[in-house]
Chain A
Amino acid sequence: MAMILSPKWLQSILGCEFHLENTTDKLSQLGLETELISASTDVLYNIVVGKVIATEQHPDADRLKVCKVDVNQPEHLTIVCGCPTVTEGMVVAVAMDGAKLPGMTIKASKLRGVASQGMLCTALELGMSSKKSSLLSLPADTPIGKPITEVLSLDKQWMEVEITPNRGDCVSALGVAREILIGMQQDFNTPLTQMPCGKPDLLGSVDTSCTSYAYAQIDIKTESNPKLSEHIDYQLHVAGLNRVSPIVDILNYIMLYTGQPMHAFDFSKLKGKVCVRYANSGESIHLLDGQDITLETSDLVIADDNGPIALAGIMGGEHSKVTDETSSILLESACFDPVVIAKTAKRLGITTDASYRYVRGTDPELVEFALSEAVKVISETYETNPVSSGVVFNKQEKEPIRIGIKDVHDYLGLEINIGQLTSYMRLIGCHVMIEESEYITVEVPSHRNDLHFYYDLIEEVARLVGYENLPKSELTCQPLNQEDKELARHFQLIEVLVARGYQELYSLSLQSIAHASMFADENTLIHLDNPLSEEYAVMRPSILSSLLLQIKHCLNHFVRSGKLVEVGDCFEKPSIAYKKLGLAAFGDKDDPEDNTNTFMRIKQDIHAVIHRLKPGMTVKYQTAAELSDLPLGWHPNQTAQIVLNDTVIGYVGCLYPSLQQDIAVDIYAAEIDLNMLDKQSVVFVKPQVQSKFPPSTRDLSFWVNSSDCAGLIKDQISGVSELLTQVDMVDDYYSEQESQRSLTFRLTFQSFTKTLKDKEIDKIIENTIAILAKDGINLRDH
């Protein structure tokens, strides 16, 4: 979370000015990533201090007044004003003709017939507040005619500070101010004055998970018509905090200032003593935001005799909340165990400004100071009666830390002497307890709950010295003796396919259930418990599913052909992760020049891939014996299993027709399970020289049955003789006349030892015909 602060406020806390850019850079280097952003008051232009000389009723509008305003110019301005609080003698901010305010420009114009030469401004209009209010009233001695930007000390820029989760102590103006001082190499010496708290008479038992609990009980006069100071109003506006009620706004301001979250109870609604305890099972609480919460025994609560009145560190209860009628309040300023608050906040899914700070850890010793500040502001805002207050501490003693200059050297490679180490530790507020020649033992300040061990302090040394000032050390490396097989495989696969015209893609691994379940049974998908949206609800079951989405994206962008490849993890129960390669080629059905979309072409690509990874291995294609052997998404009659060593390693073919119904292009795809491919062992084949003897070829045509597979017939023919070096199917035609399919194969014969004679070839052909005839495949004689 980023916190936005006014630099002017930080300067007033520190009691000194600082250079904005330098300080921003320094804070960033120290670990509080800070940026300057433009303040809402930055645009103010041509707005001056003016004094209302006279007011009279607008002739045509009941709610408008016509004012004469002195802006220290020869003539008084006439300005029509809608605010009922405008009175003669009031000193106000006047936006003149051409003035600029946040979100508007002022032009002289007629309002219901009366010419108005500008506008009288409210704090909201000036960008100094986020709450609607009446006219900003300036002190009577403000010099008339001066630009408003000179009179009010307004920020041109604000500081947006990003706080890392370890630095709970910095989620406040005070905390950031402390870091600014550290950046200036100065100790924080502004004394935190606080009122003395008395005995905790109003408190019952306080559980040890509450490290400190301070309270103040104040009676306020409800008719005192409280108005927050412009300073508080402005700080809440800068921080972007919502305005609730004067008391809550004040406590929010104190939290912004000190980092200490506070709560106010309506004291008259409480019964008996207030205690801090874990909830009893079966207890419940109705929270401020309207939620009813059933409490668990791990939830820390603030309770009175009637039960829980607040969820400790997270939110108060509705019953005892402060209202306009409240005349007696009990302020709480406490410190709780971060883990206890985190558990409850997480279980309930509630994050508040208070819980945000408690989860990061607040300073147990800050409770009284924050309480004093709150009481001070409240008594400045309301008419109050004397206060009664009390405090309880359940302090846990912090172990002192021993750190040596050798430790610093081991981690940072930095040589410093013990004196430097000591001063660094003092700079961050450590109390030095024991000094040895090369070691010191320190106690860390109560607000630094992130420092426990010596290496935590080494980090402090590093950031104080500045990482850019740490020495560099030579890095000696042994040469690599092995490669990452998986990464290398990825590179090899893509290399082959890119050379064959494929575009490599990376797809998001998340898909909608509707889409993914077209490729795998919904029950086997990996569902996310907290998906971003329906579109990203499950892990992808296959690369094919990703590629189909990508093809649709192409078609939506008028790209009608392409070859796509992706390698990545796919997920399906029970084995969870599968590494897969997916290819898809798509193109227009009737583009004669584009033949990317043929089945044989994608098979050639598969061969190229397998040859690269498993050289010399024979790839076979077979139809699935059972339909269930095919994964979802594939066409039942136009998909082959890719077989290596009798193992199915993937699929090639067309998409299931329903997936392609709205798509006007042909898609051929293939998917290979890379783990299965990896497992296939390559048999070493001795390289063979070419034959010196001439080959001869013969063509044979057969009538085949509808159930016969060309691939199998080809294999059968190839197996007839060793002299058959190549068998190619050269024709596949269906005779309407015979109602039968005919295949023609070209057989190539070649010997390594002699020129083959016709007789020898004839004999092999006879054999071939005889073998096929046994399966009812007969030679076509015409």
Chain B
Amino acid sequence: MDLKQADIDHGLRAIQQAVTTTDLETQRLHWMGKQGLITQAFKTIGRLSVEEKPAVAKQLNEFKSQIIDVLAKQKELVKKIELQKAIDDKIDVTLEPRLLTQGHHHPIHQVIKKLNYFFAQRGFESRSDYNLEIEDEWHNFELLNIPAHHPARSMQDTFYCGEKILRTHVSAAQPRILKNSKLPLSAVVFGRVFRCDTPDATHTPVFHQMECLRIDRHCNFGHLKTIIEDFITFLFGEKLPIRYRASYFPFTEPSVEIDVWMPEKKAWLEILGAGMVHPNVIKNAGHDPSVYRGFAFGVGIERLAMLYFDLDDVRELYNSDLSLLGDCYLWQ
């Protein structure tokens, strides 16, 4: 076949009219593909005489380089055109999406996580290993220095189930942990507790507590004050006035209750109960109270959750009010 410069010029113009990658590829194949005109033309060289060959070959190489050159240039151009097209492609970005169901951590979970963080930072290990919701009176009362006929038993109305009871406080884990741990010890326990309280805005028969316990050779009320005051500052994010009130828990002595001043509500709010672990509790767990002393305190998780999220009714925490629960953020 004979390729003339005119054919090539015509071809080059066609290439220069290709404005998409697809068109350009068609042009490339037309000239340079297996069946392409240039490729085919080269195949005819073999049939030529020795004298003709150099000139024809030179001519073909010339054509080939022209085509390749223009193809390459056009490729750059097409790329630019297509890029600009992509850039110019516009969509309306303003519409809100149809929201997928959003998941959330429950407020109680969030508070536990926050508290756990504080105590872990200070070397208090969270212990779930003796965290029994169904307990016996021995651990819930006797070992905690609350004998059978002590009026303090009726401080916490207990649910009974046969030989067992539903624990009335997380402190019930104290004797088990103490008995099964080497001293000194710094621990926190989070868990569910149960009391015969008819549900109302401030009570549910099931609720959560955190217990903090430390036993050491040298441990006094001053250590308790240090951690509690740090803790309260951590809880509220600022140093608020604190009031200590003498109180009574059979398993601590001295015992105190601690109120925090709520500047917005202009009122004292009872936050936690605390004290030095009663010598009988240490003795009951098989340790020597003349060597070891300790402190313990407990805090209600729901109360903190209500405070953080400004809830009016504790029962809201136990209902699947997805809208309310979805609005409670502490950690995000």
> Taking beta carbons and an 8 Å cutoff, which residues of A are in contact with B?
28-31, 33, 164-167, 338-339, 342-343, 346, 359-360, 409-414, 453, 455-456, 458-459, 462-463, 466-468, 470-475, 477-480, 482-487, 490-491, 494, 497-510, 526-533, 536, 539, 550-551, 553-554, 557, 559, 561-564, 568-569, 571, 576-577, 593, 596
Contacts and interface: CB of A to CB of B under 8 A. Distances in A.
A462 B246 contact: yes
Contacts of B256: 467
A503 B320 contact: yes
A359 B154 CA distance: 11
Contacts of A343: 149
B293 A411 contact: yes
A455 B253 contact: yes
Nearest to A569: B133
A562 B293 contact: no
Interface string B43-63: 000000000000000000000
A503 B103 contact: yes
A467 B220 CA distance: 12
Given A33-B245, A468-B243, A412 B222 contact: yes
Contact of B317 (A474, A506, A531, A536): A506
A165 B244 contact: no
B64 interface: no
19 contacts: A29-B244, A30-B246, A165-B248, A343-B149, A360-B151, A413-B220, A458-B254, A459-B254, A470-B225, A471-B222, A486-B128, A498-B104, A503-B104, A503-B320, A506-B318, A526-B161, A554-B322, A559-B322, A562-B320
Nearest to A535: B199
B155 interface: yes
Interface in B150-205: 150-152, 154-155, 159-162, 166, 186, 190, 192, 194, 196-198, 204-205
B159 to A, nearest CB: 5
A781 B102 CA distance: 46
Contacts of B74: none
B161 A529 contact: yes
Nearest to A351: B154
Contact of A410 (B106, B155, B278, B293): B293
Contact of B220 (A473, A501, A506, A530): A473
B321 interface: yes
A514 to B, nearest CB: 18
Given A470-B225, A593-B98, 6 more contacts: A164-B248, A165-B152, A338-B149, A360-B151, A554-B320, A559-B320
B113 interface: yes
Given A29-B245, A509-B194, A559-B322, A487 B116 contact: yes
4 tightest Cβ-Cβ pairs between the two chains A and B? A473-B222, A477-B123, A467-B244, A31-B246
A475 B102 contact: no
A290 to B, nearest CB: 24
B218 to A, nearest CB: 8
B299 interface: no
A28 B160 contact: no
B276 interface: yes
Contacts of A456: 253
A165 B128 contact: no
B133 A29 contact: no
A576 B134 contact: yes
Interface residues of B, number: 81
The residue among A487, A533, A576 with the most chain B CB atoms within 10 A of its own CB is: A487
A485 to B, nearest CB: 8
Contacts of A414: 221
A31 B220 contact: no
Consensus secondary structure, chain A interface:
mixed
Contact of B160 (A412, A413, A503, A530): A530
Contacts of A501: 100-103
B123 A479 contact: yes
A118 to B, nearest CB: 39
B205 A510 contact: yes
Contact of A531 (B100, B152, B159): B159
Main secondary structure of the interface of B (DSSP, over half): mixed
Contacts of B244: 29, 466-468
Contact of B318 (A480, A508, A531, A564): A508
B320 A470 contact: no
B253 A164 contact: no
B229 interface: yes
B108 interface: yes
B272 to A, nearest CB: 13
B122 interface: yes
Interface of B: 98, 100-106, 108-109, 112-113, 116, 120, 122-129, 131-134, 149-152, 154-155, 159-162, 166, 186, 190, 192, 194, 196-198, 204-206, 208, 220-223, 225-227, 229, 242-248, 253-257, 276, 278-279, 293, 317-323, 325-326
Most chain B CB neighbours (cut-off 10 Å) among A346, A413, A471, A507: A413
B105 A498 contact: yes
Given A508-B206, A562-B101, A593-B98, A528 B149 contact: no
Contacts of B220: 409-413, 473
Contacts of B161: 526-529, 539
B191 to A, nearest CB: 9
A472 B320 contact: no
B45 to A, nearest CB: 36
A419 to B, nearest CB: 22
A504 B205 CA distance: 20
**Interface centre among A472, A491, A510, A562, by most B CB within 10 Å?**
A472
B96 to A, nearest CB: 15
Contact of B196 (A339, A530, A593): A530
Nearest to A456: B253
Contact of B134 (A453, A510, A526, A530): A526
Interface centre among B208, B222, B276, B278 (most CB of A within 10 A): B222
Contacts of B112: 487
A584 B268 CA distance: 41
B243 A29 contact: yes
B267 to A, nearest CB: 11
Given A455-B253, A596-B101, A467 B246 contact: yes
B192 A503 contact: no
A477 B214 CA distance: 10
A531 B195 CA distance: 10
A463 B194 contact: no
B190 A487 contact: yes
Contact of A31 (B122, B208, B245, B317): B245
A551 B322 CA distance: 10
B155 A165 contact: yes
Nearest to A561: B101
A412 B150 CA distance: 27
Contact of A504 (B109, B204, B242): B109
A536 B129 CA distance: 27
Contacts of A494: 105-106, 109
B240 to A, nearest CB: 14
Contact of B206 (A164, A412, A413, A509): A509
B141 to A, nearest CB: 13
Contacts of A468: 242-244
Contacts of B133: 509, 569, 571, 577
A697 to B, nearest CB: 27
B102 A577 contact: no
A412 B159 CA distance: 36
B245 A459 contact: no
Nearest to A553: B320
A486 B132 CA distance: 13
Contacts of B150: 165, 342
Contacts of A29: 243-246
B205 A166 contact: no
A472 B229 contact: yes
A39 B108 CA distance: 39
B236 to A, nearest CB: 18
Most buried by B among A467, A485, A486, A554: A467
Contact of B247 (A31, A413, A502): A31
